[in-house]
Structure 1
Amino acid sequence: MGEVETPLLGGTANRGLVVRVRDTVRRPLRVSSPATHAVLRHLEDVGFTGAPRFLDVDDQGREVLTYVPGETVTPPYPEWSMTDAALDSVAVLLRSYHEAVAGFAAADYEWAEPVPAAYVDGTVSHNDPNLDNIVFRDGVAVALIDFDLAGPGSGLWDVAAAIRLWAPLRPADDIHDVRRGRALSRLRRFADTYGLDEADRRRLVAATADNHVWCMDYVRRGSETGHPWFHQRWTTGESDLTARTDAWFTRQAQALQDALLR
């Protein structure tokens, strides 16, 4: 009898293809898999516990990672996940990751999705710290998962991605939970807790807007090339939300900047 495979929910690119087998996770390989496996080995070597470990490739050609126990944040969002304490813990985890990955040599690897050159400073950023890509235990963020989009970037780029999703930074009418009306305070709180320096604070608003464009272009291209889940996402509201959010960033740029620098 074969091993029991339990599908793991969340995500878009690999929806339905990620499974748990006992204390491991099996995921499809990608062109960038050697690069992400090298990052995970580096993190293990430096003692960073906030990421899965790469173990092997199984007989079906899937990468085998350690399973990280805990909860990820998927709709309907649990009350604890919307708190400032949860937000703070994401900022602390992200800072710890950036400190751990420092010194990893990225140049010899092929990566998945290049970020804008203005946001590349030698760091390998996670690039997708979405709500369902962070594992929590007892309401505290303890690990980043899904390194498929990891690649040369910067701490600033990851902070922009994280706060865009966790604040969240979008029109209030498109926020349907207790975070509505708190975008500015959560933006400032995340920057403070992460320890973002003044130079990056002055660039963060532009970075969040650019990150939104980068991310949504990735989804749009996935839709156009026939990826079923990206197509569903893009054609059932994401395209309109993207346009509204782009306009919102333009209107709110000064308010966002003031919140960071006051």
Structure 2
Amino acid sequence: MAKTRLEGGNDGGAIRVGATVRRAVNTWTPAVHELLRHLEGKGFAGAPRVLGFDDEGREILTYLEGETMGNRLVWPGWTRTEDTLRQVARWLLAYHAAVSDFVPPRDAAWRGGGRWAPGLIIAHNDASPFNAAWHEGRLAGFFDWDFAGPITVESDVAWTALSWVPLHSRRVAATEGFTDFDARPRRLRLFLDAYGWHGDPGAIIKEVQARMSARADDIRRGAARGDQLYAKLMQRGFAADMDRAVQELNDFADARKD
């Protein structure tokens, strides 16, 4: 059976074998598998299925059919349409419904740390265009659940909006091909409306800022302790870009105004 190394990802190492994906096992893999099995039991179609392990000890997941970002620097057009923005919001709403009653094992270890408690959900935490599969004009779902972990629903809504509105720094967004910055307040409202969020959009902006600041700190700490992924992210300026985005969002137009 043909084997293909899949493009993209900062960790690398994912291999496609037929209709499956093989990936190295990590300390968080058992917890992620519990989550994915729960989603399968709920009939949630927007995530891979767990198929076990191969002879090399790698996890086996189903392959989500569709176009992906791969190694492209400029994002494809489908990532920026309003229809896609609505589809992502509806995927997130359906995911939250499916995961709402998931109680992870007490000893579950998540890559980002933290412990689940009542009132939290286990989120993908990286449901960005980099991990999306786009098939025949529809969002097939998200792969690469390595960063799954416990957060609030509000935080998950905010973190997903960050990637898709987008709410990152102008420098990063422009590099990725988005320059219509005046449209961002309207796009944020569209995303929140499609999700059914009835809270204050300003709270979403504040949550984005809080999470980006925390993420930048995580990258710096991880790089300092020798984590190869975080060292790579640090070298590529991810932490500095997040700091810049936090500052820029202080001047973000009020999302409640036209």
TM bin, normalised by shorter chain, reads 0.7 to 0.9
How many Å separate the matches in 2 of 1:179 and 1:167? 11
Matching residue of 2:212: 212
Matching residue of 2:203: 203
Matching residue of 1:186: 187
Q: Greater shift after overlay, 183-192 or 103-112? A: 103-112
Shift of 1:50: 0.7
How many Å separate the matches in 2 of 1:79 and 1:112? 31
Give the TM-score, by structure 1 length: 0.86
Q: Greater shift after overlay, 48-57 or 205-214? A: 205-214
Conservation of the 8 A alpha-carbon contact between 2:79 and 2:164: no
- Residues 89 and 48 (structure 1 numbering): CA distance in 2 closer, same or farther, change over 3 Å? same
Matching residue of 1:130: 128
Name the amino acid aligned to 2:28.
Answer: S
How many Å separate the matches in 2 of 1:242 and 1:107? 32
Secondary structure in structure 2 of the residue aligned to 1:124: strand
Name the amino acid aligned to 2:124.
Answer: H
Deviations 1:9-54 (A, max 9, x none): 1221x22x11101111011111111111111111111111111000
Structure 1 stretches lacking a partner, 5+ long? none
Name the amino acid aligned to 2:38.
Answer: H
Matching residue of 1:151: 149
- Residues 216 and 194 (structure 1 numbering): CA distance in 2 closer, same or farther, change over 3 Å? same
RMSD, aligned α-carbons: 2.4
How many Å separate the matches in 1 of 2:216 and 2:115? 14
Name the amino acid aligned to 1:26.
Answer: R
Structure 2 stretches lacking a partner, 5+ long? none
Conservation of the 8 A alpha-carbon contact between 1:128 and 1:149: yes
Q: Greater shift after overlay, 132-141 or 108-117? A: 108-117
Name the amino acid aligned to 1:195.
Answer: G
Give the TM-score, by structure 2 length: 0.87
Q: Greater shift after overlay, 239-248 or 222-231? A: 222-231
Secondary structure in structure 2 of the residue aligned to 1:251: coil
- The partner residue of 1:59 within 55, 60, 67 is 55
Name the amino acid aligned to 1:216.
Answer: A
Name the amino acid aligned to 2:186.
Answer: S
**Which aligned pairs between 1:44-123 and structure 2 lie closer than 5 A?**
44-73=40-69, 74-108=72-106, 109-114=108-113, 121-123=119-121
Identity %: 33
Count of residues in Structure 1 that have an aligned counterpart in Structure 2:
252
Secondary structure in structure 1 of the residue aligned to 2:102: coil
Conservation of the 8 A alpha-carbon contact between 1:126 and 1:149: yes
Deviations 1:97-151 (A, max 9, x none): 111111111252222214699x982311111112111211123212121111112
Conservation of the 8 A alpha-carbon contact between 2:170 and 2:245: no
- Residues 174 and 32 (structure 1 numbering): CA distance in 2 closer, same or farther, change over 3 Å? closer
Deviations 1:144-193 (A, max 9, x none): 21111112222212211111111211343443224431221211111111
How many Å separate the matches in 2 of 1:54 and 1:243? 36
Higher-helix-fraction structure: 1
- The partner residue of 1:34 within 21, 30, 41 is 30
